[in-house]
Every structure is written in C-alpha cells, then in structure tokens.
Structure 1
Amino acid sequence: MTLVYFLLAITFLVFVHELGHFLAARSCGVRVLSFSIGFGPALASVQWRGTEYRLAMIPLGGYVKMLGESSEQHADPTESFAAQSPLRRAWISLAGPLANLVLAWLLFAALVWQQPEQVSAKIDTPEPSSWAHSRGLESGDRVMAVGNTTIQTWRDLEMALRVAGNEPLQLHFEKQGMLEFDRKDGTAPLIQAPEGDLLNPRALGLRPMVVDLFIGQVVAQSPAEAAGLQAGDRLLSVNTQPIRDAKLLIDLIRRSADQSLVFELERDGQALQLAVRPVADGEAGRQPARIGASLHPRFDTVQMPRDWLNLVASASIQTWHVTELTVSSLWRMLTGELSFRQLGGPLSIADQAGQSAQRGAGAYLGFLAVLSIGLFVLNMIPLPMLDGGHLVYCAIEILRGRALSEALRLRLQQLGLTAILALTMIALWNDFSRFF
C-alpha cells in the first residue's frame, strides 16, 4: 500500500501544480496544447477544446505545453505564450507553485477544523542520559517557549527547533504551574543542533506525554492473537505494574522469551487479564522476543479554539513555519551548515507517505501539505528549467527592456539541468543508503 499512497500523493500534487499553470495560461488567453500528469508515453489521453489531457507512464512530474513555447511553432500572437508580456509570463510561471502553496494552506486549515485537539507540549519522562534528564525535567512538565517563540502544541515545538538551525536557543518550561528556564537557577544554558543536522525534541530527550497505551494491529498466528489480544484494547498494567511507556513495554517483552506476562486490559468498559508468552525468532532464540502486536499511544492533548479567526491564523502560521523550515534547510545545505544526507528522494517520500497513511487520514493530509510546500519551494529555486528560473528571466527582461539571447538562455539551461541532475543523484544516493 505504500506505493499506492505515494502515487496518489504525487499524482494529486502534480495535478494541482499543473492546474495552476493551466488556469493562469487560460486567463491570459494562451492556448494550452497539452496537460500531462507524468512523463513518457501516454497511458490514457483525451482531446477536448483544443487541449490534449494525458496520463503518462512515469508519474514523477507533469507539464503544461503551451502554444509558442517552442521556436519551431508558428503561433498566433494572440494565443502564444512567447508573445505575452513579461508580467503575464511571470504570472503563468508563478501560478503552478502558488497553487501548491494555496493547497497546503487549505489542507492545514482542514486539519485545524477537523482536529481541534492537538498533541500538547507536555513532556513524558525524559530519556536517561539526555539533555532533558540532565536538566531535571520530569513527566508532566510543559514547554512554554523556544527562544521568543510561544509553544502551544508539540508541532509548534518541532517546528521552532527545526527552524532555529544552528542558532543557540533557550527553552522555557512550566513545572508545577511555575514558569522556569531550562535550569532551576534561571541561567538557561544555550543549546545547539549537532553539526550538519537538524535539532528535534527527541535529540534532547523530549517526548510527548503519553496518557494511554492501546493495542494496535495484531499479527495472525502470533502469541498476541493466541492470548486473545484485540486491536483497541487499552493497556492498564503488565504483571501488576502500570504501563504507559511503549518503549519500556517493548524492552520488557524482548527480555521475556517463553515467560508468561499478565496483561491487564480494558475492553468495551470491562477489565480483563490475559497471559501472553513472547517468543524469540531465529536460531536458538537469538532474536529479541516479540508478541506480534503493535502499540498505539494516546498523547496528552490541548483543545484549540474552533473558530474562523483561529483557523485562518493557525493554517497561516503552519504554512509559514513549514515554508520557512524548507527554505532554511535548503539554504543550509547549500552553505554547508546542514548535511546533504537530509535530502530525500522518491523512496524516502514513499516511505513517509506509507507511514503517515498508517497513522490515519489526518497524518496523511499533513504529509500532503508538507510535500506540497516542498514542491512550491523546489519550483521557486531560480534555476533555468524550473518556474523560479522563468521568473528570473521575466524580471531580467523587465529591467533590461529586452529578453536574454537564445544562446545565453541555452547555456543557462544546460547549467540548470546539471544542477538539477546533481541534486537528483544526491537524493537517489541517500535513498539507496537508507533502504539498501
């Protein structure tokens, strides 16, 4: 299913992008010869009102072909892309990326409206030997601010840390109703991201606070199924010890091969106890023991206001933060502050699509919003062959009063193609290194 979710995401986002170009071209009176989702031979096509609409074999992109884009075309000046003013051509080029940005805003707005409950910024017990543990933080403490940025949700925290880059930061916490710095003496030592990497909560030992733990998918013919565990069971305790930390439970299971563990559960409002015996795969039980069931935590949440003002503000803030993060990450890669290992290709995107879909419709829509912003930023890079490059051409033409020569444009396109191929090869190599 991962491939299906990946293809759905790419096809939908490419369609929106090309639809932006298409509608802008039509609004300027430019004739569109073809509207293609994908490259290569057509799998299906239809001709309607002078435009060929096609679905092509390679779904990693698309294009809108307009009259007058090629020098060999004999175009009617009133319907030709080349005959349009620089401002009109700039509008047509900008409309594709802009459509992706608007789509991301709409997706974030839909999530805010449909999911007013967001994971709060309360933390769970910090990882041992972590930065958070060394600062004396405890389960239930809440992150109030990162530098000057107010934090309300866990997503706010993730974004604030990532956007910060290598800038030193101070974190502010609420402990038992009192606002404190990240040290009791209030001096708040600065923290920084590891060189070439992004700062994130887990790297600091911060995890969202878990309030309940549920049984997720149960594997057929597994110890969990044999014991009678079902998806949706709420876990109360194991061997009479209260459990709400998935990591602790997994560690316990791995150490308990062929030992009976008593799970106390709640199902349909009724308490029950089931004995589960983990098994170890592999020769002589060398592999960690398992029970064949996934675990789904329920995190502490905060209720966000459900009104139009909050919807517009929240969607706009999320769109801005993701865009800022994407742009800053790309810039830091180019300047050497961030490793190019962070760059992902089709396999990484497919993996994220599959993982987000497994977490539910909301997570998948959030993934689509982030990926749509990624397409916006990518296409706005001022390289020939990208929309950003066309915008630069239009700006130069407006400033100079005439367009660049065909020979110079050809050389610039070759340089742009080289840069795009280099980035593509890096992304593919990173994918290969991660998954093979």
Structure 2
Amino acid sequence: MDLLASLWNTLTYLPPFIAVLAVVVFVHEYGHYIVGRWCGIHAEVFSIGMGKPLLRWTDRRGTRWQIAALPIGGFVKFVGDMDPASAGRRDDGELTEEQRAVAFHNAAVWRRALTVAAGPVANFILSILVFAALAMVAGRASEEPVIGQLTEHAPADVGFVAGDRVLTLDGQEITTYAEILKILHKTDGAPVPATVDRGGDVIDITVRYSLPPVIDSISPGMPASRAGVLPGDVITAINGEAVHSFFGLQMATRDLPPETEITLGIDRAGEPLELSLIPVMRERGDPETGVNMMQPTIGVRSTSRGGLVPVAVWRGPLDALEHGVDRTWNIITGTLTFFGDMIFANADLSNIGGPIRIAEMSGEQAEQGAFNFVGFIAVLSTAIGLLNLMPIPILDGGHLMFYGIEALRGRPVGGSAMQVGTMIGLCLVLSLMVFATYNDISRVLAG
C-alpha cells in the first residue's frame, strides 16, 4: 500500500480513535476520582486530554473539570500532588490546614492504595458491563442441535428447514449445534445423509453444505488487515487457483511453507481485485482434524455459519454478567501469556502496536459496525487497566508497589528512592512507547 494512502487511512481513523480513548480514559480517571472522594481525598483537577484547556468549569466541591486540547490521555490531580502524574508531593507548608486534611499524601496508605487501584478496576468493570450488555442485546446461540433459521447464505439445496432437530449426521449421533457445523464444514459441499425430527416426524434427508469464502471480520494487525482485505470481501482465488469455500481457503493456506507470499483474488461488491500478503504462523485448529497446530494464518473469519442459524437464547442479567467476566478475564490471561512469551519464548514483538495501530484498529472496528466498535472499547479498556497495573513506577502498579513497601516498613519510601524509581519507570514507559511507535511506522512503510 502506498505510504501516503496508508497515512491518509490512519488520519481518517482519528475520530473513532479519539472516541475510544476518551471513553476509556474518562472511566479510568473517574475510578481514581470517585474512590478518592469516598476516601476523603480532594481532587483539584479532573482533565480529559492534555495541554491547554479548551473547556472548563468548577463543581460545587471545588474540583475543576476540563477538556484539554490534546486527546491523548487525561489525569486527576489531587490536593498535595506536585504534578498530574502524582509522581511527587508538595511541601505541606504550601498547603492550608484545610488542604492538608484532604491531601493525597496525608491519607492513610490503604486509602491511597484504594484510590490508585480504582482506575484499573474501573476499566475492568467497564469491560465487563460492555460485554454483558452486548450479550444481552444479541443473546447467545443455543447449544441444542436445532436449526433456528436459514439465511440467504444457506445453499438452496441444503436439505434442512427451520425447526429441524438434527439427530444424526453423516452416520454420527448429534447432541450439540457445534457438532453439526463441525461435521458439515469438512464435507465442503459433498452430500451427506442426516436424520432429523421435523415437527414430530423422524425423517431421513440429504444435506449439502458449504461455507462460502465471504469474510465477515478481520483480525486487527494480521496480514489480511495490513493488505487491505475488508469485511464483505469474497475470496475467489489463491495464487490463481479458484477457491469455492471457506474450508477450501483454509486448506489452501494450511500447508504453505513459512514466509510464503500469496496473492488473493477478491470480489469486492462485484469488482475483482488482487491483494498480496505473507501469512504468519499461528496456532489454530486444523480444518480437517480440529487439532491445534502451527499453521500459516492470514487473519480472516467467517461468522455466517453458512446460513444455518441456531436458536437464539436470551441472556439474563446474571448470565450476561458471567459472560462479561469471562471475556474480560480471557483478555487479561491472554495478555499476560503474551508478556510471558515475550520474556521466555521469543514471542513476535512486531505484534506490539502504539497509537497509530490503535487508531487503525478503532477505525476498522467502527467500519465493521456498532457492535464491533463497542466491543473494541471493552477490549482496549481491559488492556489499559492491565497495563496500568504493571509494577512500574509512574504507572498505577508502581504506586501500589511503593505503598506495599510502605505498609511493610511502617513508613513511606524515601524521596531519593522514589525519584530513582520514577526515572526508571519513565524510561521504561518511554522505551515501550518508542518501540511500539517504531513498529507502527515500520508496518506503515512496509504496507
């Protein structure tokens, strides 16, 4: 992709990027603010964005709220903080007696710890609630082996009708809906026998099923995304060889040697085009056996189920909350696994992205619809919360580390040690930002 075109695409993603960042940062900082208030610590400033304030007002508690010019973060400045990062404390001599009583550094260590931890926790709560709300709106697919409905993606001679309860398929007894799709996916259009309960009558039918190679979603940062594949694209060929199904697409890429460049033939709303990319090696289920193994992967998904839609079951509030907790926890554990792989397993560090990549991902998810965009907010909120819990000075986790030491020692960490720790933390964070931005720029230049 031309460099100027890539940069222009990134600029067009700025509005959704700013929206995502504003929501995530506001929730994070509001967590600090509200718990600090509950703990008797007064906030002088609550800012969304950095730099010159564009809009500001003071509430009845004396906190100045503001929206600043640079939408790249935000902060809460408590009484007694030397700066918005809470990296140091002002001299009590500069404060009035009333201010000393509500200053951050004069609060008990447990109150300070709760206030600091509240930011990341607020991010996790946002993620849980967003995932739960999405689950309640969309419902969830029933595990019952019943065909809920047939969409336009279903083959005309599929054999099923809405309401069929599948009893056997290709000679195998069926107990869950996932088993239906797993068996049919591998048939790739070949006719197979089935037994169904249709309105109380048990009948034998012939089923023909093929999942079309229509791309429903793109994995951010993967080769297909970087090459310009879009949701709705139909992959018609790989290296000139025709592709008729998603199974055929998987089989065509499965046995490619590593670092092999391929050319995708694509039908985009009736317009043929070709895109070149190099698949990356990722562990995923083999299309034939289902066994996880390292395979060349381009990062596309089909979620249409080939037009066979299961019965939808509405999620109650508790079920939805459980789903939200599970999704958030999976993101946390997956991220921690990646961090561990970075240290011990030589993970691919090119996957680390910075502001440019987050902006692109925001735009890509916005293009894929409101559900995807809101879901991305939840994903990023979890990531921001987890990153801030890292035990690095200047991050929330670093402050918590110092408070833990203070609780064990019975007195605060010395000023010199705090300054050294803060400088080390600042260097680490800046190094990570530089590295992530380097990855972003390298990817844009390579695109």
TM-score (norm 2): 0.61
Q: How big is each residue's C-alpha offset from its partner over 1:228-261, in whole Å with a ceiling of 9 and x where there is no partner?
A: xxxxx9x9x9xxx99665998x73769xxxxxxx
- Say whether 1:98 aligns with 2:121: yes
Q: Distance in 2 between matches of 1:325 and 1:152?
A: 27
- Say whether 1:63 aligns with 2:75: yes
Q: Distance in 1 between matches of 2:266 and 2:325?
A: 44
Q: Distance in 2 between matches of 1:15 and 1:366?
A: 17
Q: Pick the aligned partner of 1:410 from 407, 419, 423.
A: 419
Aligned match of 2:354: 345
- Say whether 1:384 aligns with 2:396: no
SS, match of residue 82 in structure 1: helix
Asked if the contact 2:211/2:247 (under 8 Å) is kept, the reply is no
Q: Pick the aligned partner of 1:325 from 331, 334, 347.
A: 334
Q: Distance in 1 between matches of 2:30 and 2:441?
A: 32
Q: Pick the aligned partner of 1:423 from 417, 432, 437.
A: 432
Asked if the contact 2:130/2:378 (under 8 Å) is kept, the reply is yes
Change (3 A) 1:340 1:89: same
Q: How big is each residue's C-alpha offset from its partner over 1:318-360, in whole Å with a ceiling of 9 and x where there is no partner?
A: 1110111112212322345312211110111111111111111
SS, match of residue 93 in structure 1: helix
Aligned match of 1:27: 38
Aligned match of 1:374: 383
Aligned match of 1:88: 111
**Percentage identity across aligned positions?**
30
Asked if the contact 1:119/1:299 (under 8 Å) is kept, the reply is no
Q: Which runs of 5+ in 1 are unaligned?
A: 121-139, 142-150, 154-172, 179-207, 215-232, 255-262, 264-275, 281-286, 289-295
Aligned match of 1:113: 136
1:24-423 aligned within 5 A: 24-49=35-60, 50-69=62-81, 70-72=89-91, 73-74=94-95, 76-117=99-140, 175=183, 209-210=211-212, 251=265, 299-300=304-305, 301-303=309-311, 305-308=313-316, 309-423=318-432
SS, match of residue 384 in structure 1: coil
Asked if the contact 1:380/1:388 (under 8 Å) is kept, the reply is yes
Q: Which runs of 5+ in 2 are unaligned?
A: 1-11, 82-88, 144-168, 171-175, 187-209, 217-231, 237-241, 250-263, 276-300
Q: How big is each residue's C-alpha offset from its partner over 1:178-231, in whole Å with a ceiling of 9 and x where there is no partner?
A: 9xxxxxxxxxxxxxxxxxxxxxxxxxxxxx9459789xxxxxxxxxxxxxxxxx
Change (3 A) 1:92 1:383: same
The CA deviation at 1:304 is 5.7
Q: Distance in 2 between matches of 1:36 and 1:345?
A: 22
Q: Distance in 2 between matches of 1:2 and 1:91?
A: 36
Q: Distance in 1 between matches of 2:394 and 2:322?
A: 34
Aligned match of 1:199: none
Change (3 A) 1:40 1:336: farther
Q: Pick the aligned partner of 2:22 from 6, 11, 17.
A: 11
Amino acid aligned to 2:349: F
Asked if the contact 1:97/1:375 (under 8 Å) is kept, the reply is yes
Asked if the contact 1:213/1:246 (under 8 Å) is kept, the reply is no
| RMSD over aligned Cα atoms | 4.0
Q: Distance in 2 between matches of 1:24 and 1:398?
A: 20
Q: Distance in 1 between matches of 2:141 and 2:41?
A: 45
Change (3 A) 1:115 1:32: same
Amino acid aligned to 1:311: A
Change (3 A) 1:152 1:328: farther
SS, match of residue 402 in structure 1: coil
Change (3 A) 1:43 1:117: same
Q: Report the count of equivalent residues.
A: 308
The CA deviation at 1:77 is 3.0
Q: Distance in 2 between matches of 1:279 and 1:54?
A: 50
SS, match of residue 104 in structure 2: coil
